[in-house]
Chains A and B, each alone.
Chain A
Amino acid sequence: MTCDQVRPRLADYAVGALRGRERARLLNHVGACASCGAELEALERTGALVSRLSLESAPTGAWEAICHRIRDEGGGSARRGWGRALAMAGVALAVLIVALITFLPTLQRESGSPVMPQADEDIQLTMEAHLAAVWSAPLADAAAVGLHLGSVEDDS
């Protein structure tokens, strides 16, 4: 390598960006060339100079302000995480229950199982009552299933 080829790559070498053959060729040149060697030293010294700067601390009172905002929001990160997980589980459960109520009689009919008397009408009435009354109450799904199964058992 010549000096003209080496010079633009010296900073890349100094930050550890060169690998393998290119790195070896550059080192070979720098070992034999006083001028490029001096430039590499200067680049390394520059890095050392910048590394001697110290970090600056955030102004005093910053943590108190953060703490205040965290507590004002009324709850921890973990609690919010669990809350979200529970809400998702509730929605999934509701969808599953509605799907079972809707499709189970159809599947039973198709598979040749005896169809329960007035089952479709009962389901519709149960669903209408359920949706009208309990949109936001997750436990109502379980109650609706219980009522429906009870009515099915009574009919049979």
Chain B
Amino acid sequence: MQAVVVQARSGSVEAFAEVYRIYQAGVYTFILSQVREPELAADLTQQTFVRAWESLHGLRQAGAFRGWLHRIAANLVRDEVKSGRARLEVTVGQLTDDNTPQTPIATDGGPEDAALRSELRRQVWSALKSLPAEQRGAVVMHHLEGMPVSEIAQAMGVRPGTVMSRLARAREALRKRLSQYVEAEARDM
């Protein structure tokens, strides 16, 4: 993956297309977790990659690309919120299916009922969106993208200990909000 970033840095649009293919879902999902409107999330995703392309020559370590890319995305979200065009906080009362990603929750391939899976996905996303923005961002990067704490810290511009703390507080809140599903899962095991 680093090789393709290096190629893109040297000016290859084809390599940057591959970079986009690899990272677009992570960036889009992260932004979608931060802003309410999918259209705005799509626009900010585009802006993130355009800005990354423009600044790529300044990236010293290709291995730091993902954290750097998410930093760009986070800054764009922050600017959007400052401008008043987007809101970071989504209260439970505002939740609708409009901005809930449509990808079904992953399963082990068992005969799980599709409606139940869909309901579970909706509940997990709802719980996620009830978190403060910083916690939400950390959870998406860690649990959905599999980013290590050090990389998330780079993306958020904070210390690794702060990321750990956000993840821990998020876990407590999610455990309370999803208790019904967590206990059902325990019974099924």
B164 cross-chain contacts in A, Cβ below 8 A: 12, 15-17
- Does residue A137 face the partner (Cβ distance < 8 Å to B)? no
For residue B11, give the distance in angstroms from its CB to the closest CB of chain A: 3
Query: Do the beta carbons of A66 and B11 come within 8 Å of each other?
Result: no
What 0/1 pattern do residues 7 to 48 of B give for CB contact below 8 A with A?
Answer: 011111100110011001111110010000010001001100
**Which residues of A are found within 8 Å of B96, using beta-carbon distances?**
none
Q: Are A42 and B168 in contact (CB under 8 A)?
A: no
| A41 interface residue per 8 A CB criterion | yes
Task: Report the bound CA distance from A95 to B175 in whole Å.
Answer: 64
User: Is there contact, CB below 8 Å, between B186 and A51?
Assistant: no
Q: Complex formed: what's the CA distance from A78 to B101 in Å?
A: 35
Is A43 interfacial (CB 8 A cutoff)?
yes
A1-44 Cβ-contact flags toward B at 8 Å (1 or 0): 00000000001101111000000000000000000000001110
- CB–CB A76/B42 < 8 A: no
Q: Which secondary structure dominates where chain A touches chain B?
A: helix
Contacts of A66 in B (CB 8 A): 20, 46, 49-50, 53
Q: Which residue of B lies closest to A47 (CB)?
A: B171
Name the residue of chain A whose CB is nearest to the CB of B177: A46
Within 8 A of B (CB), among A24-81: 41-43, 45-47, 49-59, 62-63, 65-67, 69-71, 73, 76-81
CB closest residue in chain B, given A80: B57
Interface size classification for chain B: 35 or more
Task: List chain B residues, Cβ under 8 A from A42.
Answer: 175, 179, 182-183, 186
A58 to B32 CA separation, bound complex (whole angstroms): 10
Selected from B32, B105, B185, the residue in CB contact (under 8 A) with A56 is: B32
Nearest B residue to A46, CB-CB: B175
Question: Complex: how many Å from CA A80 to CA B50?
Answer: 14
In the bound complex, CA of A56 to CA of B181 (Å): 22
Q: Do B25 and A77 have beta carbons less than 8 Å apart?
A: no
B13-A76 in contact (CB<8A): yes
Closest to B58 in A: A81
Residue B102 lies at the interface, judged by CB distance under 8 Å to chain A = yes
B72: Cβ under 8 A from any A Cβ: no
Assess the A56–B13 pair: CB atoms within 8 A: no
Contact with B along A107-145 (1 / 0, CB 8 A): 000000000000000000000000000000000000000
B25 & A55 in contact (Cβ 8 Å cutoff): yes
A69 B50 Cβ-Cβ under 8 A: yes
Q: Which residue of B is nearest A57, CB measured?
A: B25
In the complex, whether B104 has a CB less than 8 A from a CB of chain A is yes
Is the Cβ of B182 less than 8 Å from the Cβ of A50?
A: no
5 more A-B residue pairs beyond the given contacts A54-B106, A56-B29, with a C-beta to C-beta distance below 8 A: A11-B172, A14-B171, A45-B182, A66-B20, A66-B50
Chain B: residues with CB nearer than 8 A to chain A?
8-13, 16-17, 20-21, 24-29, 32, 38, 42, 45-46, 49-50, 53-58, 101-107, 120-121, 124-125, 128, 139, 143-145, 149, 161, 164-165, 167-169, 171-172, 174-175, 178-179, 181-183, 185-186
Question: Which residue numbers of A lie inside 8 Å of B, CB to CB?
Answer: 11-12, 14-17, 41-43, 45-47, 49-59, 62-63, 65-67, 69-71, 73, 76-81
